[in-house]
Structure 1
Amino acid sequence: MNEQSQLAEEHGVSGTPKRGLVMSTLVFFAGLTTIVFYGAAGPILEEHLALAGVLHGLLLASPHLSKAVLRIPFGAWVDEVGGKKPTLILMASTLIGTAGLVITLFLTYPENFTMELYPLLVLFGLLAGAGGATFSTGITQTSYWYPRDKQGFALGAFAGVGNIGPGMVVYVLPVLIGIWGMTMAYSVWLVFLLVVAAIYAVYAVDPYYFQLRKQGKRPDEAQQTADELGQDIFPSGGMWDSLRTSAENRRTWILVFLYTVSFGGGFTSLSAWFPTYWEQFHELPLTTAGLLAGVFIVYGSLIRVPAGSVSDRFGGEEVAIVSFAVMTLGGAIMTFAAGFWPAILGMMVLGTGMGFANAAVFELVPKFVPEAVGGASGWISGIGGGGTLVILPLMGLFVDLYGKVGYARGFAVFILLSLLCVIVATAVLNSAL
């Protein structure tokens, strides 16, 4: 037993940063799958419910809405009680929503699965979407586990691996529906979520500071002991203190904007845009279009792992500037590329820039807002997560204006936004605010 382990045992605390990272990543991987709660079964839902476009969009968006709203308070709540309790509450909501849908399918599908069920389905989507808010609880939990010089690696690994979940469900669920039918496919999904939640409940532990606080130690005593154990980032107050403190820090709002463009609005918007882009503009089969969109999702997620280490080495400020410049280039290629292979190149360049930019943003959170990591993470991931409500309509406007070619011209949105991010990152992040 090494000295640190012996010290931890003496103070009655357990866990390691690696264990904390694995558990947070696992539950985020599972929880985030619910942002595509209805997406993979979209054609079946449209056939049975005969939904108008607006109602169909609302149903698909229901988990995104709860995800974005809940990230703010739950991320900040970690600063008060640690990450385990908030995460378990979010997963409980997800399990209730998923179980509600499964029970409804068992009772009504296919004969009685009709429009009368629509309000109930929206409710289930809102409940299930809570799992997507595990991003803010997990990223805050991970920040407290790791020292400042390892933040980029840890947060990059957390977000990179965790974000693969929705892409995998988009492919796996239709296959299961084809083999067993929709009811059993969603039942398998429910079992998966239940197993992950159970594993997290048993093996996840809060960082040392929060364990010591639960033992009744005063904040200063808990911080001193946790510091001896290797923890060097600590909250300065409870949930509302964290939200207020982070909101008063101007750099929090700069990071909100950068996250909105790089991931919350940017990456998420393109994950939804690319299937239609490849099908409509390049006239590819839907299966091929979906596969190419999946390549973008997986690549853009996994590259955040090495991007985090690069941010640790060179600093998130410099990596952010370069990354948004790469995004500008990728947006330009996509806007004017007419052929298949130039478009593939542009897509990968965009994915590279977005992955590195996102890793850089969260490497900067504990650096710029160390006294309120949870609150800052909540604002960034919550408000930024709603960016699709702005970026997708802007891209769609190009289709309304230019017709088919508008599916490509819509990427001009990323030329403008990415250039603006380069200017902001250069002028603000490296200045003394």
Structure 2
Amino acid sequence: MTAPVPNRRSGRWIERWDPEDEGFWNTTGERIARRNLWFSVLSEHIGFSVWTLWSVLVLFMGPEYGLTPADKFLLTSLVTLVGAVVRVPYTFAVAVFGGRNWTVVSASLLLVPAVAAFVVMEPGTSFSTFLLVGLLTGIGGGNFASSMTNINAFFPLRKKGWALGLNAGGGNIGVPVIQLVALSVIGASGGPRVLLGIYIPLIVVAAVLAALFMDNLATVKNDTGAAKDAAKDAHTWIMAFLYTGTFGSFIGYSFAFGQVLTNQFGRTPLQAAYLTFVGPLLGSLVRPVGGRLADRYGGARITLWNYVGMAAATAVLVAAGMAKSLPLFVSVFVVLFMLSGLGNGSTFKMIPGIFQAKALAKGLEGEAAVAHGRRLSGAAMGLIGAVGALGGVGINLAFRQSFLAYGSGTGAFVAFLGFYAVCFVVTWAVYLRRPTGQVPATEAASESKAQLSYAEV
């Protein structure tokens, strides 16, 4: 049994960390990992709230702001884009600065867009200014990548589905929470600056608590080779594609749901706010469930059937939109949110499982296999998270084009339906179809074949 050994460096560094050792895990490791998990969730939660800030601010922006529906969709698309792009450097910042140190920095950086939005949020501000501040707000999306990379290093493989699902779900829930707070502010006849005035001190609280209670792992080294190796691996990009279908849907719909209700169904901002928070809330809450189910039954199986559900729900949304049935539309949209959250949990559980299987296929065993899998999966998560978030950009641009061309979001939903069908086929073909005569990746002895190996993940 090993114990965590603090380094002499300042800043709460732990020199030795071995979560796969059950004795170490049961005596001290689990307690430390859970403490870091909870404060990571808090910081990521605030990050998500800031990132999705403009999904609710646009509801405050009436005719006096002079913005068209297309302008608002473009604004939210750019915010989503920046959040996706910054996930890549945020992933590797953990290895450069330490998980605890970077959590403090990344939480503190959220003050910049929050204060900027507080200053400019009034009629008469130019659209270009709103775009610039929206771009700053996008940095909140990066907190997810660094948080997931950090927590991935704290937990053993057998616990990763639950831990990563809880970490991500707790962050994702920042989306409905800020929508609920906005609902309260609108209901009390408050303005957008009241909403921002609530979140600015919360950002400070998150940064201070991270500084006081989180730790850095010295075992998470700055390894640029891991980034290169992950980028060269086909599974990284296959999983990025699949994560686009789940998380891209979640974040894209979170930004767009309120605008669809106001533009397609004529709801007022207050009426839309009463409805928009339900889907992201339930989608966030079920993300750990997706991870837990993946731990038990395999992430690929859960992901496969989840895409069947997402496609079916989208088909019903097309019908509800054409029939102009608001109750059916909202209820099924909530189901689609829940399925996207479930799929978020199952796809992220697949990532460490895939790289662990590939380590075993290379002939590695024991701690060497675990270290290899952890090294590549941590690096891959940033790339996968970034590409997945780009799906949110695509969803908002699809809605923008659909409203410009047809005056409704129906055309966009038809495109999404086709995309989910492709995701189903890819999941089955790569991770669940076992070609004749081929054994699982955990038993394979060679990776020299061009065709990707079957992986039970």
Shorter chain as denominator, the TM-score bin is 0.7 to 0.9
SS of match in other structure, 2:409: helix
Q: Match for 1:316: what amino acid? A: G
Q: Match for 1:251: what amino acid? A: H
Aligned residue number for residue 82 of structure 2: 66
Q: 1:75 aligns with which of 58, 78, 91?
A: 91
* Deviation for aligned residue 1:364: 1.2
* Deviation for aligned residue 1:148: 0.8
Q: 2:335 aligns with which of 344, 349, 366?
A: 349
**Does 1:269 find its partner at 2:279?**
no
Q: Distance in 1 between matches of 2:255 and 2:76?
A: 11
Say whether the 8 Å CA contact 1:327–1:414 is kept in structure 2.
no
Aligned residue number for residue 422 of structure 1: 424
Q: Distance in 2 between matches of 1:184 and 1:394?
A: 32
Aligned residue number for residue 351 of structure 2: 365
Q: Distance in 1 between matches of 2:208 and 2:200?
A: 12
Aligned residue number for residue 197 of structure 2: 187
Q: 1:202 aligns with which of 198, 212, 215?
A: 212
Q: 1:242 aligns with which of 221, 226, 231?
A: 226
Aligned residue number for residue 153 of structure 2: 144
Q: Distance in 2 between matches of 1:368 and 1:238?
A: 22
Q: 2:175 aligns with which of 166, 179, 183?
A: 166
Aligned residue number for residue 254 of structure 1: 238
* Deviation for aligned residue 1:81: 4.3
* Deviation for aligned residue 1:86: 2.6
* Deviation for aligned residue 1:409: 4.7
Say whether the 8 Å CA contact 2:284–2:338 is kept in structure 1.
no
Check 1:281–1:59 CA distance in 2 against 1; reply closer, same or farther (3 A cut).
closer
Say whether the 8 Å CA contact 1:278–1:289 is kept in structure 2.
yes
* Deviation for aligned residue 1:95: 1.3
Say whether the 8 Å CA contact 2:152–2:164 is kept in structure 1.
yes
Q: Distance in 2 between matches of 1:259 and 1:389?
A: 14
Aligned residue number for residue 90 of structure 1: 106
Check 1:242–1:364 CA distance in 2 against 1; reply closer, same or farther (3 A cut).
same
Q: RMSD value over aligned CA atoms?
A: 2.9
* Deviation for aligned residue 1:374: 3.0
Q: Distance in 2 between matches of 1:282 and 1:100?
A: 32
Larger helix fraction of residues: 1
SS of match in other structure, 2:215: coil
Say whether the 8 Å CA contact 2:80–2:138 is kept in structure 1.
yes
SS of match in other structure, 1:115: coil
**Does 1:30 find its partner at 2:30?**
no
Q: C-alpha offsets along residues 105-148 of structure 1, whole Å, 9 cap, x if unaligned?
A: 6xxx86xx6436x6665444433432221100111111111111
Say whether the 8 Å CA contact 1:78–1:239 is kept in structure 2.
no
Q: Match for 2:352: what amino acid? A: P
List runs of 5+ in structure 2 lacking aligned partners.
Answer: 9-13, 15-27, 356-372, 435-440, 442-451, 453-457
* Deviation for aligned residue 1:39: 3.6
* Deviation for aligned residue 1:162: 1.5
Q: Match for 1:390: what amino acid? A: G
Q: Distance in 1 between matches of 2:316 and 2:76?
A: 30
**Does 1:410 find its partner at 2:412?**
yes
Say whether the 8 Å CA contact 2:183–2:270 is kept in structure 1.
no
Greater CA drift, 32-41 or 419-428: 32-41
Aligned residue number for residue 383 of structure 1: 387
Say whether the 8 Å CA contact 1:256–1:383 is kept in structure 2.
yes
Say whether the 8 Å CA contact 1:73–1:239 is kept in structure 2.
no
Greater CA drift, 62-71 or 412-421: 62-71
Q: Distance in 2 between matches of 1:185 and 1:400?
A: 31
User: Among the aligned pairs, what percent are the same residue?
Assistant: 25
Q: Distance in 2 between matches of 1:30 and 1:16?
A: 22
* Deviation for aligned residue 1:269: 2.0
Q: 2:311 aligns with which of 311, 314, 328?
A: 328
TM-score normalised according to structure 2 size: 0.77
Q: Distance in 2 between matches of 1:37 and 1:325?
A: 31
Q: Match for 1:416: what amino acid? A: G
Check 1:408–1:184 CA distance in 2 against 1; reply closer, same or farther (3 A cut).
closer
Say whether the 8 Å CA contact 1:33–1:132 is kept in structure 2.
no
**Does 1:8 find its partner at 2:8?**
no
Say whether the 8 Å CA contact 1:281–1:408 is kept in structure 2.
no
Q: Distance in 1 between matches of 2:222 and 2:156?
A: 21
Check 1:42–1:144 CA distance in 2 against 1; reply closer, same or farther (3 A cut).
same
Greater CA drift, 167-176 or 138-147: 167-176
* Deviation for aligned residue 1:57: 4.9
Greater CA drift, 302-311 or 161-170: 161-170
TM-score normalised according to structure 1 size: 0.80
